[in-house]
Amino acid sequence: MQSNSPEGPRHSWWKWSVPIAVLVLLAAGAGGVVAQRFYGSEPVPTSVPGIAMEQNSELADIEFTPDAQAHPDHADVRWTLQMHFNAINMRRYETWKATVVAAKQQQLPEDKWLEEYSTTRDAAVKVHRIEPGPKDSLRILMTFVSTQNPNDAPTGMRASCLRWRVVYPMVVDSGAFRLDTSSLPGSALAVPC
């Protein structure tokens, strides 16, 4: 004898809901395995690469020793160096111009600058010391690594990777620190990595 109670149909549906849910989960899992085999097993990126990601990957890493960090102008020096090296890595001539003195800008107009830095990537920048220079200027003692096409490396140093030891003069020009990378003869030494 069948029961006409309201509990009957609900109990019947509940009895089948758990097995149906298990079947749905198994089918979804099997579908994922099939899709992975069909489309390949390459990992799926967690975000879509865009301009911001590309720019961030080109940011130069700037490190300061404790001695350099203690200098009262270290924040301004960091800002100038960050802009300078990022401009080189991202091929941003106008940004680079804002980090160097006018004489350096005239030595390297945009077409020549783009040619000289077309394959350059600077990294591992480390400021070791910040020393006073003449007329309120600074001397930045630092190291960095440049990678480039060997044909684009400086004459006499045709290597794809160079470790640089440099002293860059930094002056206040138009109210901001700017690099004067050409005024100290013998202030840049490089060896192949």
> Per-residue pLDDT tens for 37-74?
333 333 322 222 232 323 345 788 899 999 999 999 99
Alpha carbon separation from 189 to 17, 102, 166 (Å, rounded): 75, 24, 6
Q: In this structure, what are the phi and psi dihedrals at residue 173, rounded to the nearest 5 degrees?
A: -140, 125
> What confidence score (pLDDT) does residue 41 get?
35
Identify the three-state secondary structure at position 5: coil
CA dist., res. 35 & res. 188, Å (int): 56
CA dist., res. 52 & res. 33, Å (int): 33
> What confidence score (pLDDT) does residue 10 get?
52
Residue type, 122: D
> DSSP labels for 11-56?
HHHHHHHHHHHHHHHHHHHHHHHHHHHHH-SPPPPSS---HHHHHH
For residue 187, with 0-12 CB atoms within 10 Å meaning exposed, 13-18 middle and 19 or more buried, which class applies?
A: middle
Alpha carbon separation from 162 to 56, 61, 82, 86 (Å, rounded): 23, 16, 19, 18
pTM for the structure as a whole: 0.68
CA dist., res. 157 & res. 151, Å (int): 9
Rg of the chain (C-alpha set):
30
Return the structure tokens found at 130. 């910040």
Low-confidence ranges of the chain (pLDDT < 50): 3, 5, 13-14, 17-56
> What confidence score (pLDDT) does residue 125 get?
96
> What confidence score (pLDDT) does residue 59 get?
82
> What confidence score (pLDDT) does residue 188 get?
87
